[in-house]
Structure 1
Amino acid sequence: MYDVIHSTREIGYGVFKACFSDSEVNTIKSRIDCYINNQDYGVVYEEDGSTIRGIHGLHLKDDFFSGLIKDPRLLNLAEEHLGSKCYLHQLKINFKRPFKGAPWPWHQDFPYWKEGDGILKPDLINIAIFIDDASMLHGSLCMIPKSHLLGNISKKVIDETSWKADVSSNLTYQIEKQHIERLTANDNFEFITGKAGDVLVFDPLVIHASGNNISTYDRRLLILTYNSVDNLPVNPKHQRPDFLSANDYTPLSAI
């Protein structure tokens, strides 16, 4: 655990290999499958309007996921990294369907929580469980090492207040081309590949992106965003839905 935390602090991300067993991953898959055909307000689609892109907020309505966010393997990582008790700000499953899963442009996560939810400091941490194996064919995440040390360098590229732009393939806040050209010079980037059950921890300011899924298999990531209880939202500009922005700040306890 400490190697992952050290790596996350140093370069912006770290991977905990084989954190979850095959059996545990299969259980997670079965619970996700219960919601794939559910026209729920936390489900979003690709531009074709029919290919699922993401499911949000399952911990708000499913006991399995409300328990998962308190799993000590995840919660202890979050508390150790943040140095405080924390609550879950957001849970989402990012889908990349075979041949249809669209990219995520270069971006940082923190601007969405700062501008959309009123969280003033980047004292949050993302913990992502690989639900499927992820190779280069699957549209794996690509990280720019140490980019979290630059602070918030995102630019608003879509002038609207709807939360739907925050989860679309054309994100509200992105990183300008000149920054990417400079930061990725000399192959300064890393594709995060791995096996189902691996866990990726990454800083909310690390710059990342992902491409199309050109494989015949799903590539799903279950991403938990924990926020420090010392970093609660303050006067958000826009009230985003509770499946994107928590309104329960009760500190979590491991089970």
Structure 2
Amino acid sequence: MKLTPEQLEQFDREGYLFFPGLFTPEETKNLNDAVPELYSRREAYNVREKGSDAVRTNFAAHMYSEPFAKLARHPRMIGPVQDLFGEELYMHQFKINGKMAFEGDVWQWHQDYGTWLNDDLMPTERAMNVAIFLDDVNPFNGPLMFIPGSHKKGVVEAKHDLSTTSYPLWTVDNDLIAQLVERAGGKEGGIVSPTGPAGSMILFHSCLVHASASNLSPWNRVSVYLSLCAVSNHIRRHKRPEYIAHRDFTPISCLPDDCLVNSYPVDLPWKGGMPESALKTSLDVLKEAA
């Protein structure tokens, strides 16, 4: 999938692109059907909501689940990002966020690159998120909220929030959020929230400031997020476990476009269990970064 000049201009201006219904109902169903079993596992890679058994985030499903291993190599997701960076990509992070009905908690205002820089020592913002809706997303089940153009500010000041939710983030304070929203248009477009059917896709810049409210509705809002990084921009520190921030910088090789509905061989290195090495961390800086 190639981005048009108009889409490239929009991405540069607003920091995101939205593709409603890009994946078919059959493709989406094959992914969605695999989620309950993944969420049922009592493993470190399933982070649950604070004070609840509901899964907030499942990490690294592409390492042990065939449907998601194929999604991680899908050309509709990899191609546009590779075109934008002009370079091969590796998978920095893969997660299935479960904003579950009545229980899905907030994701505070943040930039993803802020975390990747502070925790992982990723050199620059040459990394990007691609999100796919596995459920219909509406205004009531905790959709993503973006501040258009906020990526133009580069890395903004953030603090490490270790207490609000079960998953720590480098979050942006309210005063700066108010300034960014006003700069983007205030009540007239200063915050946008793409909604649409399951199978929709969002591509957004790693410095785009975003958040989502809690899900008080009776409808789940499960989404997959691929964090794709230029190979030359790989992380320089392993402060976080490997199931969160991956250490294999091998370029992604795409499968055919019909891979979600047809059989193709994929490697599942953690199918038999996550290795102990995936839990080990280090504050050392990789030698090649010196």
Q: Same fold (TM over 0.5)?
A: yes
1:87 corresponds to which of 68, 85, 90: 90
Task: Note the residue ranges of structure 1 that are not aligned, 5 or more in a row.
Answer: 159-164
Identical columns (%): 28
Residue 177 of structure 1 pairs with residue 177 of structure 2: no
* Secondary structure, counterpart of 1:184 in structure 2: helix
1:114 is matched with 117
1:205 is matched with 207
Whole-angstrom distance in 2 between the partners of 1:60 and 1:154: 33
* Secondary structure, counterpart of 1:230 in structure 2: helix
Q: Which amino acid aligns with 2:245?
A: S
Q: What whole-Å deviation, never above 9, does each CA across 1:207-233 have from its counterpart, x for those lacking one?
A: 011101121110011000100011122
Check whether the contact 1:105–1:170 (CA below 8 A) recurs between aligned residues.
no
Q: Which amino acid aligns with 1:206?
A: L
Q: Which amino acid aligns with 1:120?
A: P
Whole-angstrom distance in 2 between the partners of 1:131 and 1:154: 32
TM-score (norm 2): 0.81
* Secondary structure, counterpart of 2:33 in structure 1: helix
Residue 133 of structure 1 pairs with residue 130 of structure 2: no
* Secondary structure, counterpart of 1:28 in structure 2: helix
Q: CA deviation at 1:59?
A: 0.8
Check whether the contact 2:110–2:169 (CA below 8 A) recurs between aligned residues.
no
Q: CA deviation at 1:63?
A: 2.7
Structure with the larger RCO, 1 or 2 (CA within 8 Å, 6+ apart): 1
Whole-angstrom distance in 2 between the partners of 1:146 and 1:169: 29
Check whether the contact 2:148–2:191 (CA below 8 A) recurs between aligned residues.
yes
CA 1:192–1:71: 2 relative to 1, 3 Å = same
CA 1:132–1:5: 2 relative to 1, 3 Å = farther
Q: Where do 1:40-119 residues align within 5 Å?
A: 40-119=43-122
Q: Which amino acid aligns with 2:100?
A: R
Of 105-114 and 63-72, the range deviating more from structure 2: 63-72
Whole-angstrom distance in 2 between the partners of 1:113 and 1:172: 10
Residue 249 of structure 1 pairs with residue 249 of structure 2: yes
Q: Which amino acid aligns with 2:171?
A: Q
Whole-angstrom distance in 2 between the partners of 1:77 and 1:167: 34
Q: Which amino acid aligns with 1:48?
A: G
Task: Note the residue ranges of structure 2 that are not aligned, 5 or more in a row.
Answer: 256-290
Whole-angstrom distance in 2 between the partners of 1:171 and 1:80: 32
Bigger radius of gyration, 1 or 2?
2
Whole-angstrom distance in 2 between the partners of 1:119 and 1:95: 26
Q: CA deviation at 1:179?
A: 0.9
CA 1:166–1:198: 2 relative to 1, 3 Å = farther
CA 1:191–1:107: 2 relative to 1, 3 Å = same
- Once superposed, what is the RMSD of the aligned Cα atoms? 1.8
Residue 223 of structure 1 pairs with residue 220 of structure 2: no
Whole-angstrom distance in 1 between the partners of 2:142 and 2:213: 4
> Number of paired residues?
247
Residue 21 of structure 1 pairs with residue 24 of structure 2: yes
1:189 is matched with 191
2:234 is matched with 232
1:10 is matched with 13
* Secondary structure, counterpart of 2:233 in structure 1: coil
TM-score (norm 1): 0.91
Check whether the contact 2:47–2:166 (CA below 8 A) recurs between aligned residues.
no
Q: CA deviation at 1:170?
A: 6.6
Check whether the contact 1:107–1:154 (CA below 8 A) recurs between aligned residues.
no
Q: CA deviation at 1:9?
A: 2.2
Whole-angstrom distance in 2 between the partners of 1:96 and 1:250: 31
Check whether the contact 2:101–2:219 (CA below 8 A) recurs between aligned residues.
yes
CA 1:205–1:216: 2 relative to 1, 3 Å = same
Whole-angstrom distance in 2 between the partners of 1:216 and 1:130: 17
Q: CA deviation at 1:167?
A: 10
